[in-house]
Structure 1
Protein backbone atom coordinates (compact mmCIF):
# COMPACT_ATOMS: atom_id res chain seq x y z
CA UNK A 1 0.00 0.00 0.00
CA UNK A 2 1.46 3.33 -0.98
CA UNK A 3 1.85 6.24 1.40
CA UNK A 4 -0.86 8.23 -0.44
CA UNK A 5 -3.36 5.37 -0.04
CA UNK A 6 -2.58 5.16 3.69
CA UNK A 7 -3.06 8.89 4.14
CA UNK A 8 -6.37 8.80 2.23
CA UNK A 9 -7.59 5.79 4.20
CA UNK A 10 -6.68 7.38 7.54
CA UNK A 11 -8.23 10.72 6.55
CA UNK A 12 -11.44 8.99 5.45
CA UNK A 13 -11.60 7.08 8.74
CA UNK A 14 -11.13 10.25 10.80
CA UNK A 15 -13.78 12.12 8.74
CA UNK A 16 -16.22 9.24 9.29
CA UNK A 17 -15.60 9.41 13.05
CA UNK A 18 -16.14 13.17 12.99
CA UNK A 19 -19.47 12.93 11.13
CA UNK A 20 -20.80 10.10 13.32
CA UNK A 21 -19.82 11.84 16.55
CA UNK A 22 -21.18 15.20 15.37
CA UNK A 23 -24.49 13.58 14.45
CA UNK A 24 -24.65 12.03 17.91
CA UNK A 25 -23.94 15.40 19.52
CA UNK A 26 -26.70 17.11 17.51
CA UNK A 27 -29.26 14.45 18.46
CA UNK A 28 -28.29 14.34 22.15
CA UNK A 29 -31.29 14.71 24.43
CA UNK A 30 -30.76 18.06 26.20
CA UNK A 31 -33.38 17.34 28.87
CA UNK A 32 -31.75 14.12 30.02
CA UNK A 33 -29.60 14.54 33.13
CA UNK A 34 -26.53 12.32 33.26
CA UNK A 35 -24.36 11.79 36.29
CA UNK A 36 -20.66 12.37 35.95
CA UNK A 37 -18.79 9.07 36.16
CA UNK A 38 -15.28 9.43 37.60
CA UNK A 39 -13.66 6.22 36.28
CA UNK A 40 -13.44 4.42 32.96
CA UNK A 41 -11.69 1.30 31.73
CA UNK A 42 -11.27 0.68 28.00
CA UNK A 43 -9.94 -2.12 25.84
CA UNK A 44 -8.67 -1.41 22.32
CA UNK A 45 -7.75 -3.32 19.20
CA UNK A 46 -5.37 -1.34 17.04
CA UNK A 47 -2.67 -1.23 14.43
CA UNK A 48 0.68 0.40 15.14
CA UNK A 49 2.40 1.92 12.10
CA UNK A 50 6.20 2.11 11.99
CA UNK A 51 7.73 3.94 9.02
CA UNK A 52 11.30 2.76 9.63
CA UNK A 53 10.63 -0.97 9.89
CA UNK A 54 13.17 -3.49 8.63
CA UNK A 55 12.19 -6.73 6.87
CA UNK A 56 14.56 -8.94 4.88
CA UNK A 57 17.35 -6.32 5.26
CA UNK A 58 15.17 -3.74 3.52
CA UNK A 59 13.48 -0.71 5.08
CA UNK A 60 9.69 -1.05 4.90
CA UNK A 61 6.59 0.50 6.40
CA UNK A 62 5.26 -1.92 9.03
CA UNK A 63 1.66 -2.22 10.22
CA UNK A 64 1.62 -4.26 13.44
CA UNK A 65 -1.40 -5.50 15.41
CA UNK A 66 -1.71 -4.20 18.97
CA UNK A 67 -3.95 -4.34 22.03
CA UNK A 68 -4.57 -1.54 24.47
CA UNK A 69 -5.92 -1.33 28.01
CA UNK A 70 -6.59 2.13 29.46
CA UNK A 71 -7.76 3.42 32.82
CA UNK A 72 -8.86 7.06 33.21
CA UNK A 73 -9.87 9.12 36.22
CA UNK A 74 -12.16 11.99 35.16
CA UNK A 75 -11.72 15.08 37.34
CA UNK A 76 -14.64 16.81 35.59
CA UNK A 77 -16.30 16.89 32.16
CA UNK A 78 -13.17 18.42 30.55
CA UNK A 79 -10.10 16.82 32.20
CA UNK A 80 -8.98 13.23 32.82
CA UNK A 81 -5.72 11.59 33.84
CA UNK A 82 -5.07 8.01 32.85
CA UNK A 83 -2.70 5.10 32.56
CA UNK A 84 -2.68 3.97 28.92
CA UNK A 85 -1.06 0.63 28.04
CA UNK A 86 -0.38 -0.91 24.66
CA UNK A 87 1.24 -4.13 23.52
CA UNK A 88 2.35 -4.84 19.97
CA UNK A 89 1.76 -8.56 19.51
CA UNK A 90 4.54 -9.20 16.98
CA UNK A 91 8.32 -9.22 17.03
CA UNK A 92 9.83 -6.80 14.51
CA UNK A 93 12.98 -4.89 13.60
CA UNK A 94 13.18 -1.13 13.25
CA UNK A 95 15.84 1.38 12.23
CA UNK A 96 16.60 3.79 15.09
CA UNK A 97 17.40 7.50 14.81
CA UNK A 98 21.12 6.66 14.41
CA UNK A 99 20.58 4.22 11.53
CA UNK A 100 21.11 1.07 13.63
CA UNK A 101 18.68 -1.87 13.45
CA UNK A 102 16.85 -2.63 16.69
CA UNK A 103 14.98 -5.84 17.45
CA UNK A 104 11.70 -5.38 19.35
CA UNK A 105 10.04 -8.46 20.88
CA UNK A 106 6.39 -7.73 21.59
CA UNK A 107 7.08 -4.32 23.16
CA UNK A 108 4.79 -3.09 25.92
CA UNK A 109 4.22 0.66 26.32
CA UNK A 110 2.74 2.36 29.37
CA UNK A 111 2.10 6.08 29.57
CA UNK A 112 0.60 8.55 32.01
CA UNK A 113 -1.75 10.59 29.82
CA UNK A 114 -3.78 13.76 30.39
CA UNK A 115 -6.90 14.16 28.28
CA UNK A 116 -8.66 17.45 27.58
CA UNK A 117 -12.12 17.29 25.98
CA UNK A 118 -12.20 19.66 23.01
CA UNK A 119 -15.91 18.96 22.57
CA UNK A 120 -18.50 16.57 23.97
CA UNK A 121 -17.15 13.76 21.77
CA UNK A 122 -13.48 14.62 21.01
CA UNK A 123 -10.50 14.66 23.38
CA UNK A 124 -6.84 15.60 22.91
CA UNK A 125 -4.29 13.47 24.79
CA UNK A 126 -0.69 14.10 25.79
CA UNK A 127 1.70 12.39 28.16
CA UNK A 128 4.80 10.30 28.63
CA UNK A 129 6.07 6.97 29.83
CA UNK A 130 8.11 4.11 28.49
CA UNK A 131 8.24 1.27 25.98
CA UNK A 132 9.61 -1.97 27.37
CA UNK A 133 11.00 -4.97 25.53
CA UNK A 134 13.45 -7.72 26.46
CA UNK A 135 16.07 -6.15 24.17
CA UNK A 136 15.98 -2.52 25.36
CA UNK A 137 13.67 0.00 27.05
CA UNK A 138 12.94 3.54 25.83
CA UNK A 139 11.34 6.63 27.30
CA UNK A 140 8.52 7.99 25.20
CA UNK A 141 6.10 10.87 24.66
CA UNK A 142 2.55 10.40 23.38
CA UNK A 143 0.04 12.76 21.82
CA UNK A 144 -3.25 11.84 20.24
CA UNK A 145 -6.96 12.26 19.66
CA UNK A 146 -9.83 10.15 20.94
CA UNK A 147 -13.40 10.30 19.64
CA UNK A 148 -16.16 8.73 21.71
CA UNK A 149 -19.73 7.76 20.93
CA UNK A 150 -21.91 7.21 23.99
CA UNK A 151 -23.74 3.90 24.23
CA UNK A 152 -26.40 2.77 26.71
CA UNK A 153 -25.52 1.62 30.25
CA UNK A 154 -22.42 3.87 30.58
CA UNK A 155 -20.53 2.26 27.72
CA UNK A 156 -18.69 4.25 25.06
CA UNK A 157 -17.41 3.29 21.61
CA UNK A 158 -13.95 4.83 21.14
CA UNK A 159 -11.80 5.62 18.12
CA UNK A 160 -8.25 6.72 18.81
CA UNK A 161 -5.11 7.78 17.03
CA UNK A 162 -1.80 8.32 18.85
CA UNK A 163 1.64 9.47 17.80
CA UNK A 164 4.46 8.05 19.93
CA UNK A 165 8.01 9.39 20.01
CA UNK A 166 10.42 6.84 21.48
CA UNK A 167 13.41 8.86 22.70
CA UNK A 168 16.59 8.16 20.71
CA UNK A 169 14.86 5.24 18.99
CA UNK A 170 11.95 5.46 16.55
CA UNK A 171 8.49 6.96 16.13
CA UNK A 172 5.18 5.20 15.53
CA UNK A 173 1.52 6.01 15.28
CA UNK A 174 -1.46 3.93 16.25
CA UNK A 175 -5.01 3.73 14.97
CA UNK A 176 -7.41 1.87 17.22
CA UNK A 177 -11.00 1.14 18.12
CA UNK A 178 -12.27 0.13 21.53
CA UNK A 179 -15.02 0.05 24.08
CA UNK A 180 -15.01 1.71 27.48
CA UNK A 181 -17.10 1.24 30.61
CA UNK A 182 -17.67 4.27 32.82
CA UNK A 183 -18.35 3.78 36.52
Structure 2
Protein backbone atom coordinates (compact mmCIF):
# COMPACT_ATOMS: atom_id res chain seq x y z
CA UNK A 1 0.00 0.00 0.00
CA UNK A 2 2.81 2.44 0.80
CA UNK A 3 4.29 1.95 -2.68
CA UNK A 4 0.91 2.73 -4.22
CA UNK A 5 0.60 5.96 -2.26
CA UNK A 6 4.12 7.00 -3.23
CA UNK A 7 3.37 6.27 -6.90
CA UNK A 8 0.11 8.21 -6.66
CA UNK A 9 1.89 11.24 -5.16
CA UNK A 10 4.64 11.04 -7.80
CA UNK A 11 2.00 10.85 -10.54
CA UNK A 12 0.19 13.91 -9.20
CA UNK A 13 3.41 15.95 -8.99
CA UNK A 14 4.53 14.89 -12.47
CA UNK A 15 1.09 15.78 -13.86
CA UNK A 16 1.19 19.20 -12.21
CA UNK A 17 4.74 19.81 -13.46
CA UNK A 18 3.84 18.84 -17.03
CA UNK A 19 0.70 20.94 -16.93
CA UNK A 20 2.41 24.07 -15.60
CA UNK A 21 5.18 23.60 -18.16
CA UNK A 22 2.60 24.38 -20.86
CA UNK A 23 1.09 27.34 -18.97
CA UNK A 24 2.76 30.17 -21.00
CA UNK A 25 1.30 28.74 -24.21
CA UNK A 26 -2.13 28.54 -22.58
CA UNK A 27 -1.96 32.18 -21.46
CA UNK A 28 -1.18 33.40 -24.97
CA UNK A 29 -4.08 31.42 -26.39
CA UNK A 30 -6.61 33.31 -24.24
CA UNK A 31 -5.39 36.84 -25.02
CA UNK A 32 -8.05 37.70 -27.63
CA UNK A 33 -10.95 35.66 -26.21
CA UNK A 34 -13.51 36.42 -23.58
CA UNK A 35 -12.66 34.27 -20.57
CA UNK A 36 -15.25 31.92 -19.06
CA UNK A 37 -15.54 31.51 -15.32
CA UNK A 38 -12.69 29.19 -14.33
CA UNK A 39 -14.14 27.14 -11.46
CA UNK A 40 -16.66 24.39 -12.25
CA UNK A 41 -18.49 22.22 -9.71
CA UNK A 42 -20.35 19.16 -10.95
CA UNK A 43 -22.72 16.63 -9.43
CA UNK A 44 -23.46 13.48 -11.40
CA UNK A 45 -25.37 10.25 -11.22
CA UNK A 46 -24.42 7.16 -13.14
CA UNK A 47 -23.90 3.45 -13.40
CA UNK A 48 -20.64 1.55 -13.15
CA UNK A 49 -20.34 -1.65 -15.16
CA UNK A 50 -18.20 -4.38 -13.63
CA UNK A 51 -16.97 -6.67 -16.46
CA UNK A 52 -15.63 -9.46 -14.20
CA UNK A 53 -17.14 -12.49 -12.55
CA UNK A 54 -18.93 -11.69 -9.32
CA UNK A 55 -19.42 -14.01 -6.40
CA UNK A 56 -22.84 -15.03 -7.71
CA UNK A 57 -21.49 -15.98 -11.15
CA UNK A 58 -21.13 -14.35 -14.53
CA UNK A 59 -24.12 -12.06 -14.08
CA UNK A 60 -23.73 -8.49 -15.24
CA UNK A 61 -22.88 -6.31 -12.27
CA UNK A 62 -24.09 -2.73 -12.63
CA UNK A 63 -23.47 -0.48 -9.65
CA UNK A 64 -25.25 2.85 -9.06
CA UNK A 65 -22.82 5.70 -8.44
CA UNK A 66 -22.75 9.37 -7.51
CA UNK A 67 -20.04 11.85 -8.43
CA UNK A 68 -18.90 15.21 -7.14
CA UNK A 69 -16.20 16.96 -9.15
CA UNK A 70 -14.32 20.24 -8.99
CA UNK A 71 -12.38 21.58 -11.97
CA UNK A 72 -10.23 24.63 -12.54
CA UNK A 73 -10.03 25.84 -16.16
CA UNK A 74 -6.84 27.73 -17.00
CA UNK A 75 -8.16 28.45 -20.50
CA UNK A 76 -10.92 27.27 -22.81
CA UNK A 77 -8.83 24.19 -23.60
CA UNK A 78 -6.95 23.13 -20.44
CA UNK A 79 -8.02 22.32 -16.89
CA UNK A 80 -7.23 20.17 -13.89
CA UNK A 81 -9.93 18.36 -11.97
CA UNK A 82 -10.51 16.44 -8.78
CA UNK A 83 -13.10 13.80 -9.71
CA UNK A 84 -14.76 11.86 -6.88
CA UNK A 85 -17.17 8.95 -7.18
CA UNK A 86 -19.04 6.78 -4.70
CA UNK A 87 -20.21 3.32 -5.83
CA UNK A 88 -23.35 2.54 -3.87
CA UNK A 89 -23.20 -1.21 -3.27
CA UNK A 90 -21.44 -3.92 -1.37
CA UNK A 91 -20.03 -6.42 -3.90
CA UNK A 92 -17.42 -9.10 -4.38
CA UNK A 93 -15.24 -9.69 -7.43
CA UNK A 94 -13.66 -13.04 -8.29
CA UNK A 95 -10.15 -12.49 -9.69
CA UNK A 96 -7.59 -14.89 -11.12
CA UNK A 97 -6.84 -17.98 -9.00
CA UNK A 98 -10.31 -17.63 -7.41
CA UNK A 99 -9.20 -14.72 -5.21
CA UNK A 100 -12.22 -12.83 -3.93
CA UNK A 101 -11.98 -9.06 -3.63
CA UNK A 102 -14.64 -7.66 -1.33
CA UNK A 103 -15.74 -4.05 -1.85
CA UNK A 104 -18.02 -2.11 0.46
CA UNK A 105 -19.17 1.26 -0.95
CA UNK A 106 -15.78 2.23 -2.45
CA UNK A 107 -14.87 5.88 -3.05
CA UNK A 108 -12.76 6.79 -6.10
CA UNK A 109 -10.69 9.97 -6.14
CA UNK A 110 -8.73 10.96 -9.26
CA UNK A 111 -6.67 14.01 -10.16
CA UNK A 112 -7.19 14.52 -13.89
CA UNK A 113 -5.72 16.65 -16.64
CA UNK A 114 -8.56 17.84 -18.86
CA UNK A 115 -8.39 18.89 -22.51
CA UNK A 116 -11.28 20.44 -24.46
CA UNK A 117 -10.92 18.80 -27.87
CA UNK A 118 -13.71 20.64 -29.72
CA UNK A 119 -16.69 22.77 -28.62
CA UNK A 120 -17.53 21.10 -25.32
CA UNK A 121 -16.07 17.68 -26.13
CA UNK A 122 -13.48 17.02 -23.44
CA UNK A 123 -11.16 14.16 -22.64
CA UNK A 124 -9.38 13.59 -19.37
CA UNK A 125 -6.76 11.33 -17.89
CA UNK A 126 -5.23 11.00 -14.46
CA UNK A 127 -4.08 8.96 -11.48
CA UNK A 128 -6.07 8.31 -8.35
CA UNK A 129 -7.07 5.86 -5.68
CA UNK A 130 -10.02 3.68 -4.81
CA UNK A 131 -10.49 3.93 -1.06
CA UNK A 132 -12.36 1.20 0.76
CA UNK A 133 -12.29 -0.43 4.22
CA UNK A 134 -10.89 -3.81 3.05
CA UNK A 135 -8.18 -2.71 0.60
CA UNK A 136 -7.23 0.41 -1.37
CA UNK A 137 -6.19 0.35 -5.04
CA UNK A 138 -4.21 2.68 -7.30
CA UNK A 139 -6.47 3.78 -10.19
CA UNK A 140 -5.82 5.29 -13.59
CA UNK A 141 -8.82 7.00 -15.18
CA UNK A 142 -9.45 7.94 -18.79
CA UNK A 143 -12.71 9.59 -19.77
CA UNK A 144 -14.71 11.64 -22.21
CA UNK A 145 -17.66 14.00 -21.78
CA UNK A 146 -19.66 16.45 -23.83
CA UNK A 147 -20.68 19.70 -22.13
CA UNK A 148 -23.93 21.34 -23.24
CA UNK A 149 -24.37 24.86 -21.85
CA UNK A 150 -27.93 25.58 -20.68
CA UNK A 151 -27.49 29.20 -19.60
CA UNK A 152 -26.44 31.26 -16.55
CA UNK A 153 -23.16 29.27 -16.27
CA UNK A 154 -25.00 25.94 -15.89
CA UNK A 155 -24.35 22.90 -18.08
CA UNK A 156 -25.40 19.30 -18.61
CA UNK A 157 -22.94 16.67 -19.71
CA UNK A 158 -23.09 12.97 -20.46
CA UNK A 159 -19.92 11.25 -19.30
CA UNK A 160 -18.12 7.97 -19.99
CA UNK A 161 -14.93 6.85 -18.26
CA UNK A 162 -12.81 3.76 -17.74
CA UNK A 163 -11.06 3.09 -14.42
CA UNK A 164 -8.10 0.70 -14.40
CA UNK A 165 -7.19 -0.60 -10.96
CA UNK A 166 -3.65 -1.84 -10.49
CA UNK A 167 -3.57 -5.59 -9.79
CA UNK A 168 -7.37 -5.73 -9.63
CA UNK A 169 -10.53 -5.33 -11.68
CA UNK A 170 -11.44 -2.58 -14.18
CA UNK A 171 -14.76 -0.75 -14.53
CA UNK A 172 -16.60 1.34 -17.12
CA UNK A 173 -18.97 4.10 -16.04
CA UNK A 174 -21.75 6.04 -17.78
CA UNK A 175 -23.48 9.01 -16.25
CA UNK A 176 -25.09 12.41 -16.53
CA UNK A 177 -23.75 15.44 -14.74
CA UNK A 178 -24.98 18.93 -13.96
CA UNK A 179 -22.29 21.60 -13.64
CA UNK A 180 -22.10 25.20 -12.47
CA UNK A 181 -19.28 27.64 -13.25
CA UNK A 182 -18.10 30.23 -10.72
TM-score normalised over the length of structure 2: 0.79
CA RMSD of aligned residues (A): 1.4
Q: Partners in 1 of 2:159 and 2:37 — Cα distance?
A: 20
* 1:96 aligned residue: 95
Distance 1:149 1:35, change over 3 A: same
Mapping for residues 12-31 of structure 1, pairs under 5 Å: none
Q: 1:94 to 1:75 in 2, by over 3 A?
A: same
Equivalent pair of 1:96/1:102 in contact (CA under 8 Å): yes
Contact 2:35/2:75 (8 A) holds in 1: no
Aligned mates of 1:83, 1:149 — CA distance in 2 = 20
Counterpart of 1:86 in structure 2 is 85
| Residue in structure 1 matched with residue 158 of structure 2 by the alignment | 159
Please state if 1:116 is matched with 2:112. no
* Counterpart secondary structure, 1:52: coil
Give me the whole-angstrom Cα distance separating, in 2, the residues matched to 1:63 and 1:50: 6
Query: Residues 53 and 95 of structure 2 are in contact (CA less than 8 Å); yes or no, is this contact kept in structure 1?
Result: no
- Asked if the contact 1:53–1:92 (Cα under 8 Å) also holds between the matched residues in 2, the reply is no
Give the conservation status (yes or no) of the 8 Å contact 1:97–1:170.
no
Alignment of 1:36 onto 2:36: yes
Deviation above 4 Å: which 4+ runs of structure 1? Answer: none
Gaps of at least 5 residues in structure 2 are 1-32
Provide the residue aligned with 2:138 in structure 1. 139
* Greater CA drift, 47-56 or 85-94: 47-56
Residue 97 of structure 1 contacts residue 169 of structure 1 at CA under 8 Å; is this kept in 2? no
Q: TM-score, normalised by structure 1?
A: 0.78
Q: For the structure 1 residues 118 and 64, does the alpha-carbon distance in structure 2 shift closer, same or farther, using more than 3 Å as the test?
A: same
Quote how far apart the aligned CAs of 1:96 are: 3.0
Q: Which runs of 5+ in 1 are unaligned?
A: 1-32
8 Å CA contact retained: 2:140, 2:163:
yes
Q: Is the 8 A contact 2:35 2:76 kept in 1?
A: no
- C-alpha displacement of 1:59: 2.8
